[in-house]
Every structure is written in C-alpha cells, then in structure tokens.
Structure 1
Amino acid sequence: MHIPTVSQTHSDSTPRALRERLGLLTYQTPPAEAIATIVAAEAAGVRQIWRTQGTPLWNSLTVLAAAATHATTIRLGTAIMPIYAHHPVALAQQALVLASLAPNRLRLGIGPGNRQPIESSYGHSQSRPLAHLREYLTILRAALWTGHVEYQGSFYNTQATLPESAQVPIFISALREKAFALAGELADGAIAWVCPPQYLLHTALPAMRAGAQLAGRPTPPLVAQVFVALDSDAQSVRDTFRAQFDHGRFYGSQPEYATMFATAGFPVFSDGSWSDDLIDTLVISGNETTIAARLAELLSFGLDELLIMPLQSSNPTHLPRLTHLIGRL
C-alpha cells in the first residue's frame, strides 16, 4: 500500500532513534503480570509502555505506579483513562503520585471512552462528549501543571489546590476531525485507536494542524495505534484478528467508528464486521525484518509515534520476540 509522504513536519525536528518512537501496549492483565511485562520490556530496551483502561478492570495508573518502583527508565503512559470514571481533580491527584515516583516518565492519555461500557458501568450519560472533554482537559491541565484550579462550566464547577504540580504531558483520544482539532488546540498529543493510516494522514493530521494554528502553537504529536503479528500467513493473521477482536463488530456497529472507517475508504458490513482489506491495513504482519521495515515506513509518512498492540498468540515466544524487536530498533 502506497501512502504519500506528508511534507509538513509537526513534531520535534531532532531525529530520534526508531525505538524512541515506538511504544508497546500491555493488555489488561492482572497487576503482577503487568509489572513483569513492563520490567521485561525495559530490560529489552523498549522505551515506552502504554496501558489501556478496561471498564471496570484494574486501575491502570495504579498498576503503572507499582511498575515504576521496579522499572526505572521506561516511559509509562495510559491509553486511555476514561474521563467519565474519574473527576479531573481526582485524576490529577492520582497522576501526581506516579509523576513523583517516575519523574518525567508519565504521559497521561485521557478520553471519553466507548459509550456502551461507560454508560452501563458508571451510569453516566455520555452527552456532548467533545465539549465534556474540553472542560475536563482544561481542569486537568490547570490542576497538574499549576497545582491550582478554579473553574465553572457546563459539566464541572471546581476549586482545588493540590500539594504540588507536575508538567505531565496530557494526550487525548481522537477519532473524528473535531477531536483531532481539539488535540491540536489544547492537548500535548492525540492517541488514535484502530484508525487506518490513510485516515490519519489525510484527515486527522490536517485537523490537528488546523487546531494548532487556531491556537497559535506547534502541532503536537500524533500517536497511532497499530496491531502487530509475527506471522507471515495473511489468512492466519486475519483469523487471529477476528478471533481476538470479534467485537470488531462492536466497533463497526458504533456510528462514530463506522463513519471513520467509511471516510478512510473501508466501510464495514451491515452487521458491523470488518473486511479483509480493513484488517490488512490495520495489522502489520510478517517476520521481524518485514515488521521493522513497515514500522519505519509508517513513521516516515508523517506519523509521530506508533503504539504497538500485539495480536495475542498461542505461541509463548511471540511477545518476547516482538518486545526484543522493538527494543533493538
């Protein structure tokens, strides 16, 4: 697949080693297992770990705080903490703990999360999620970066003084153009989930640039999530993907995701299932050499960083091999 290079650079122009632009996503595994994975990743040379926040599973910031006492150099990120589950001041309090334990290593990803689990688990109505996210981001930034916040808005009225401040980078999840524009305007970066590269390059990045230009600031980085499988059999990879993400129908049945896929040129089927072409564009597969080349290629097109989500495998060597590959690039 050929994707033309995006000519405008929107991140730090200083060249970075490839592994500095790659992060490994850990699954919602139990805390002890997650800590072991993070320690092994650091030992292998991986520079960034991201952890999702399942609803209502183990709290990812708490897990990362525990891991920070065992792994001393690797960057730690959340992708993402759902805003409806945490008041922004409470999340700032929690983030300050991790920022203190791991100075300059935390990158805090936040976002509305998926409507169905949020509304069923927490009982919140996910109305006007982008407006909600704007208020949340504004409060969280003030609380974390200055240690004090006074805010009155449509969703929050809060006044608080925290014990200290920490300039923790705040990333927001983004799916549609307005969310990417908000990231460009106010956040320290955007995290894109299951978005084809074509969509990110031709829709997301222009929206981020427009938002940044409106605010008179440099365009922050875009972190693009990709699936990776150490498997050269294309059909085997598709079968593995469908077995792991049969809830791809979940994504496909959500209007916001279905619209994004259609905009990218990969409309989902009427039952929400994904085509082979969509899976092929989202998953990087092959041997170590092929995967390394494809990761480098995606970054060369204009994406800032990649968040690598390994496809689960019955082969116990899969994750260690991928971890060592990322760490040595």
Structure 2
Amino acid sequence: MLVPTVPGTVEQAVPFACHVAHDSQLTRLWQGQSYGLEPAATFAYLAGAGYRVPAGTSVLVTPLRHPAQAALEARTVAAATGHPAVIGYGPGSRAVQRARLGAPYGDPVAASAEFLRATRDCLAQPWDPPARSAGSAHRYFHAGQALPPVAHPRVQLALGVLRRRMARAAGEVADAALTWLTPADYVRRVVVPEVAEGADSAGRPRPRVIAAVPVAVARPGRHPAGLAQLAAGGHLVLPHYADMLARAGIDVSTGDSTAAARALVDGGAFLYGRPADIAAGLAEYAAAGTDEVILNLTGVQSWYGTDETLLDLSEILAATASLNW
C-alpha cells in the first residue's frame, strides 16, 4: 500500500506501516515524492520504531537529487528496513525541471535512463553488471566513483512510466517499471509490450511492472468523482498525464476538474465500488501482466481520515483473498 498522505510528521506513517507489518497480503509500504519529509528518513524512522517492512518509492523526481545522493538514500532504505527496496525515479514535470534546474531536460527519457545508470554505478552492487568505462558520455549526470561498500539487501532501481518511450527505456535499464493512473487495458496494450521490447533489445529479462492504482470503497454519502479528484487532481493538470490518459481512451482535457475526475472513474483509472468490484479490477491488472499493485487510498484519507482508510483497505484485502492471483 501507498502511505496515503504526505507525512508532516514521521508518526503519521505509523498506522500504515503497522498494517503492512501485520497483513500477509501486503508485501510493501510505498511512499511518493515528498516536499516535506524525505522518504528515506521516514522509512528509517519506521524501522527504528519496530516496523521493519519492505519499502518502495513511487516516484522520486530526479531534479531534486544527484545520483550519488540517490544511491546513498536507496541503500539506506534497504539497510534500515532489512529488506530489498524498490526505489523509483522519474523526471517530474517540465515545470519542476525548470524550477530546480533552470531549464527542462532536452530529452526527459534519456535523462531518466542516464540517471538510473549513474545511480547504479554509484551503488556498485555485486549483482549488477560492471560499471561503464570512464570514457562513457554524460549528457545530464556524472556518477563519479562508486560509494564505499556497505552491506545491505538488494536495491531495485525503477523508472516511472507513462508512455511508450519511457516504458521501452525502463525495459532497457531498470529493474522495474512503475506506472501511475494507468488503466489495466493500457498496461496490457502499451506498457508491458514496450517494457518487454526494451528488455529484448538490451538482451536482458523483462523488468517487473508495478502499477499504483487509486481505489475507494463505495459507501453512502461518498462521491467517487470527488475522491478521484483528491487522489489524482494534481496529476490531471500535467500534460504528460493528460496525454497518457487520452491514449488510454480517457479524456481529461476538458478544463473541468470534476468532469476529468469522473472520467477517471468511468475509464477504470480510479477503482470505485464494492470491495468485490475493486478486487475484480485489480485482477485485471494481474491479467494485463502487472507483477505488483500499489493500493492508493489517498482520496479516502484526504476526505475521511485514517480509520476509514484502513477500513477500506481491510475490506479490499478480504475481497482479494478469494481470488486466484
């Protein structure tokens, strides 16, 4: 599950870490990019508080960090939790790139792939292929020397994927491809095939595909479009998300945020309904080739708080328990 809020204090993440620690169906606690508390620090706090659960990030934006710092944070998460970690990166929006770097990347896909390679070079993990030669070109990032070795569980480096080129790049260089707001049919038609093609071209196994899926249980008085807007509204105004959703058959370019959120629900990018309906929707992601699903209950948390969020989570997990994954 995703920590369904941007924590302002580390204690806010505790109820969700506790749930992951005690529910065998939940395999990992995820956190997105935070402009409040650094996710690596939050996971380290949770581990120190007794919640040493597997952790993942989906996704950290590359304009905020150097590859050496990214490698240091990534292995800190793995070492502190005692579990293999999945650490995802992406270029962020052009506005974020401009604000942090002074100008957007000329080629965000190439920059992301180069960032991942540079971060892997800094980690220099024994299971990785040898680092590139010193003469390799560096258009966006220079890794420098590998960090001094520290024993830690494996770090899997992932790329955030929305469209074809990034999916293919993930297949070429990443350990996993992370999607966000992508309907199951789009994952089946676009993401999985492109990741597989990129992997084939690089002569390597297909990376895992991981999908973050916003969900909410239907209850009296709830408004699905409002919940979808709380869960995804910030992404709907970004051109690269609007373009991906249009390619998936969901029109969010109306200028009406409520209509856009309703389109997310109608198009299956936001799963709303009975727990059994949500479980069936999640099964479609598995059938599409998704290897791991991240349950995103941000909308419920934002509107109704932690108790109802955990109630939704428990009912959805109970419904999925009867499915043959």
The aligned runs of 1:1-329 (5 Å cut-off) are: 23-30=1-8, 31-45=10-24, 46-54=26-34, 56-121=35-100, 123-146=102-125, 150=134, 152-164=137-149, 167-232=154-219, 236-243=223-230, 245-247=232-234, 249-251=236-238, 254=239, 256-271=240-255, 273=257, 274=260, 276-280=262-266, 281-310=268-297, 311-312=299-300, 313-314=303-304, 316-325=306-315, 329=321
- Judge which range, 32-41 or 238-247, deviates more: 238-247
Q: Tell me, in whole angstroms, the C-alpha distance in 2 between the residues paired with 1:97 and 1:277.
A: 40
Give deviations 1:27-60, integer Å, cap 9, x for gaps.
Answer: 2122221134312332234221110013x32111
- Judge which range, 112-121 or 184-193, deviates more: 112-121
Identity of aligned residues (%): 24
Cα separation, partners in 2 of 1:248 and 1:296, compared to 1, 3 Å = same
Q: Secondary structure of the residue that 1:107 maps to in structure 2?
A: strand
- The amino acid across from 2:314 in the alignment is H
Q: Tell me, in whole angstroms, the C-alpha distance in 2 between the residues paired with 1:141 and 1:284.
A: 35
Q: Tell me, in whole angstroms, the C-alpha distance in 2 between the residues paired with 1:102 and 1:322.
A: 26
Alignment TM-score, normalising by the size of structure 1? 0.82
- Judge which range, 166-175 or 297-306, deviates more: 297-306
Q: Tell me, in whole angstroms, the C-alpha distance in 1 between the residues paired with 2:89 and 2:113.
A: 11
Q: Secondary structure of the residue that 2:252 maps to in structure 1?
A: coil
Give deviations 1:244-284, integer Å, cap 9, x for gaps.
Answer: 54435413xx1x22221221112333427426343331111
Q: Tell me, in whole angstroms, the C-alpha distance in 1 between the residues paired with 2:124 and 2:55.
A: 18
Deviation at 1:318, TM superposition (A): 2.0
Deviation at 1:169, TM superposition (A): 0.6
Does the Cα contact within 8 Å between 1:172 and 1:187 map onto a contact in 2? Answer: yes
Does the Cα contact within 8 Å between 2:55 and 2:85 map onto a contact in 1? Answer: yes
More relative contact order in 1 or in 2 (CA 8 Å, sep 6+)? 1
- The amino acid across from 2:313 in the alignment is T
Alignment TM-score, normalising by the size of structure 2? 0.83
Does the Cα contact within 8 Å between 1:229 and 1:285 map onto a contact in 2? Answer: yes
- Judge which range, 139-148 or 216-225, deviates more: 139-148
Does the Cα contact within 8 Å between 1:233 and 1:286 map onto a contact in 2? Answer: no
Cα separation, partners in 2 of 1:102 and 1:275, compared to 1, 3 Å = closer
- The amino acid across from 2:18 in the alignment is V
Deviation at 1:194, TM superposition (A): 1.3
Q: Secondary structure of the residue that 1:80 maps to in structure 2?
A: strand
Cα separation, partners in 2 of 1:105 and 1:73, compared to 1, 3 Å = farther
- The amino acid across from 1:94 in the alignment is E
Deviation at 1:300, TM superposition (A): 2.6
Q: Tell me, in whole angstroms, the C-alpha distance in 1 between the residues paired with 2:53 and 2:274.
A: 25
Q: Tell me, in whole angstroms, the C-alpha distance in 2 between the residues paired with 1:297 and 1:196.
A: 9
Does the Cα contact within 8 Å between 1:24 and 1:323 map onto a contact in 2? Answer: no
Q: Tell me, in whole angstroms, the C-alpha distance in 1 between the residues paired with 2:188 and 2:41.
A: 34
Number of aligned residue pairs: give it.
Answer: 303
Q: Tell me, in whole angstroms, the C-alpha distance in 2 between the residues paired with 1:99 and 1:243.
A: 31
- Over aligned residues, Cα RMSD in angstroms? 2.6
Cα separation, partners in 2 of 1:199 and 1:176, compared to 1, 3 Å = same
Deviation at 1:88, TM superposition (A): 0.2
| Structure 2 unmatched runs, 5+ | none
Cα separation, partners in 2 of 1:212 and 1:244, compared to 1, 3 Å = closer
| Structure 1 unmatched runs, 5+ | 1-22
